[in-house]
Structure 1
Amino acid sequence: MNQFKLDNERALITGGGSGIGRAIAESFIEAGAEVVITGRRAELLEETCSELGAKSAYYVSDVADYDANAKLLERIENELGPISILVNNAGVHQKKDALETSEEEFEQLMSVHVTGAFSLARHAAKGMIERGHGSILFIASMSSFMAIPSIVSYSSAKTAVLGTMRALAAEWSAQGVRVNAIAPGWIETAMSRKALNNAPDRKRKILERTPMNRLGQVEEIGTAATFLCSPAAGFITGACLPVDGGASVGF
């Protein structure tokens, strides 16, 4: 079972204050890692860290501020130590018909999910490559694989995430840095619960096309992330693991 441990690892998790990011942080800590969570809301991050305990820290940061990303990694390394795991989890969503989506709105999602995530990966990988050890995890989506109406910006960004992940895996894996992704299915969070409770037909449709006939739990994304960043996944790179109850293969 030591192969599934994250002892002596320090993970940076963007968007770690709530939802999937927080669940990943909790799972990492349980596996022995120290975690650093980031986000734009200081109060939420502080509250989350107080609940995560002594093996957690937080920094207020916006992944779309490219100039700040290098400074963030430098500050963490100087104050806490080197980062050996990066989880690019931060994201924004937008539901809008394509004809009503402006170029600026389209670029906004790309700046967070793709360019911002690449920026952090690039800066984090420098130290990982020097040390010959590291793991970078992107959070993809069901919309990386399937066409879903009215989310053209989100779908485009999440599809690009997979291309970025594969390219980085091909370039950095021989230098000791594995790069992978998780594609969550429909996961039960406070936000999704509220949305689906107000749209029973949509919830029914989701469950009908999910072979396991239920929504996923954030903890199930956390344990999958822990596996992919652990020694147990030491020969896995360039892969996207769907954690979706079979939704990507369901009818």
Structure 2
Amino acid sequence: MFDTGKYFSLKGQTAVITGGSTGLGLAITRCMVGAGAKVVVLSFESGEQGQKALEEFGGKAVFYHFNITDTDHTQEMVDRIIAEHGPVSILVNNAGNHCKKFIEEMTVEDYVSVLNVHLVGAFALTKALFPHMKEQKKGSILFQASMTSFIGQPQVAGYATAKAGYLGLVHTLAAEGGSYGVRVNAIAPGWIDTPMYHKATDEDEVRRNKILGRIPMNKVGDPLDIGMAAVFLSSDAAGYISGSCLPVDGGALIGF
């Protein structure tokens, strides 16, 4: 009998996940550990906070305090991870920050700060790991995109610029890595049941109804929906998928 399950397994692989101890990043960590991977989490959180968040994984996920905007030390951190945990075959660029202001209120410094975390930091980490993955002829790199990669939303100029920029990185890196077995994709979460979603909608029924009204499935997603998508795209089951952005949005992009 054909064993489909083995193609979805991440057993024996090591994944690096930025921002992997909170929110959607934690859901990705949970799913990847469940699929058999060892996970290295990089986060700006304190070591105590990060280690507490990862306690449930019993050593299958380890925490490193690292600010991904500290690009002068990115290669040093990558070299340390490989030395301590062996070959890395999965990278999930999930870390981010947010600045919700109308453009006339947003300073250039606000804008640059968002780009430095999302785009520059993710680029530096990817650049540091890319030769390693090419050499081992195996790698899956994921970027956490967004609905704002595709649609307009007010007050998030920096965030939307960064998330749209991920698509350019995905296309270019997929072209550069394809012949070496390095696949590059993105996930675009829709509205997901997170504290951020509840903060935005619990006291705003009009906004909540507007959101649900454009989702054909008439519900918001679960964080594990994003984690499972990350497992799939990183697994051999997605071995011929590269250069794509997968919306996980209940159909919101095509909703009317």
- Report the TM-score, using the length of structure 1 for normalisation: 0.98
* CA offset digits 1:120-159 (Å, max 9, x no partner): 0111111111111111000000000001111111111110
Structure 1 position 210 matched with structure 2 position 215? yes
Q: Distance in 1 between matches of 2:14 and 2:158?
A: 32
Task: Give 1:168's aligned residue.
Answer: 173
Task: Give 1:146's aligned residue.
Answer: 151
SS at the partner of 1:242? strand
Task: Give 2:141's aligned residue.
Answer: 136
Where do 1:1-150 residues align within 5 Å? 1-42=5-46, 43-150=48-155
Displacement of 1:191: 2.5
Aligned-CA RMSD value: 0.9
Identify the range of structure 1 (122-131 vs 195-204) with the bigger mean alpha-carbon deviation.
195-204
Displacement of 1:198: 2.3
SS at the partner of 2:253? coil
Q: Distance in 2 between matches of 1:75 and 1:212?
A: 44
Q: Distance in 2 between matches of 1:38 and 1:198?
A: 33
Displacement of 1:12: 0.3
Q: Distance in 2 between matches of 1:94 and 1:196?
A: 18
Task: Give 1:186's aligned residue.
Answer: 191
| Moved beyond 4 Å, runs of 4+ | none
- Which residue identity does 1:221 align to in structure 2? I
- Which residue identity does 1:75 align to in structure 2? R
* CA offset digits 1:55-110 (Å, max 9, x no partner): 11110011111112111111111112121100000001111101111111111111
Structure 1 gap ranges (5+): none
Identify the range of structure 1 (225-234 vs 152-161) with the bigger mean alpha-carbon deviation.
152-161
SS at the partner of 1:110? helix
Q: Distance in 2 between matches of 1:44 and 1:216?
A: 26
Q: Distance in 2 between matches of 1:81 and 1:95?
A: 39
Structure 2 gap ranges (5+): none
* CA offset digits 1:220-249 (Å, max 9, x no partner): 000010000000000000000000000111
Q: Distance in 2 between matches of 1:143 and 1:162?
A: 11
Match of 1:243 among 223, 245, 248: 248
SS at the partner of 1:147? coil
* CA offset digits 1:26-51 (Å, max 9, x no partner): 11111110001111112321112212
- Which residue identity does 1:160 align to in structure 2? G
Identify the range of structure 1 (28-37 vs 186-195) with the bigger mean alpha-carbon deviation.
186-195
Task: Give 2:239's aligned residue.
Answer: 234
Number of equivalences: 251
